[in-house]
A and B are shown apart, each in its own frame.
Chain A
């Protein structure tokens, strides 16, 4: 009986993290039709910036309680600087060209950022877990859990709702939707499409950095975190149907719970879980859970 509780809790924890790291990716794809490989690097930048800022913050003697705001600040800092930079300087040049070509560009960028990070932060591992420890523990079915991961769940839900609300309720959202529907027409009807793109990409970048920044306190931030995270984000986004936020949420839950189940019931399958889910989902639904095939007008 407890076992089920554990699977549920651990599953949700992992799912929250998965959702947080894939949200930005799926959003950017939804708007710009760009599969952003540099997403992982933005995540890494967020993680490094988050840990180093919190470190300075705490060394300066400020209370840990406020460090969460610092993490948020770090995410915004990265997102608002690197995001527009990448979009304006590089992506801008090859929109509307082949999807794969843009993907390739972001891959080259991610290669470079990997070393840029190394040059800025060095290779020494950052383990800044004060924000993680500060929230203390809570007992669930007789087992102690750190509270921090549940904060992560909260942030994931908040971020998801925020993005969803922005898309559904705000003018910017409606602009974005119109651009998704038809770039030409919305451009013709006076929408500043390039600007929408910049905003959208920046928002995606912030989300990526947010994932990194709030993951930082629970991991040792070392070179290579980008590579590890990007394929997970791809998988979750693909399962949900690229571009679909609710899809990413369901996908994350699916993978999260299945992985937790694997750990608790069949540890040998841990490695396989996510790709098995992905293969099965895509076999049953070729465009992901919430994806739609584009029908050609004739």
Chain B
């Protein structure tokens, strides 16, 4: 009788409102935190950090950010790549202009700058809706990439327009640059992911989250019952862009170490993060993690199985990868249109009633 609500009475509204109302979930969550913070750092190597965990964590932040905009506030955006570029270039400019300030501050500020840019590009959402808005956000995507490529000030007038992250440390431990340990990269990202998920959870369960969801579910009714659509949409754009900006900054500083705007933050990045949101599940923080994990792990897994395990030529394997990812996306949508998060919820509900079928 592990997974039960029965007998687990709540005596206050605060208790009733907690994130994991079921005891078993709560303990599982604590266990996961202990493992993530206390165990993984001791066993992580370069491959697991750079090929799997660091990109997973960074994309999880971006996915949480985009999920706030699409999943919670219902505003479809394809400008993610452009906003990540803002985060990356803001952190680069800050790092090189104020080397004495901590990189953590720079990353947070980069998020703040991205939030402002996001708000500016969110303004059309007051007039434009649905797929039209999605296409409109592409204007942000293309314009921002063009801008960072075009204006040499953004890349400190380097010959090619590539930006490279200089070496920076936190508490005397390198987190960027060539001499960085896998565990340090992982820990920085983990702390940001943990904080992002916690902030996002708080924002989505309170007043602000409800205004977003009200706009998402029925914007006209929401306005009539007292939601200021300007405020709700712009805060959603701001919060979403804040997280996306942080993800962009981390992607550049901690993960890649060097970036070229068109290649690292192009339109394909916008789509990638959108896939993560939808596969994970709209309007779910857990789904954001699941979606990011799926899209980061699956190609690596397939590559290892097809090329490493079955010794296929890399090109045939790469083509098969597309075929399989595509087929899986379709299969998922047919089986569970509301993403991995919904799959998880259904499984939990079944478990709660187990062994009785209903």
User: Is the A/B pair a real complex?
Assistant: no
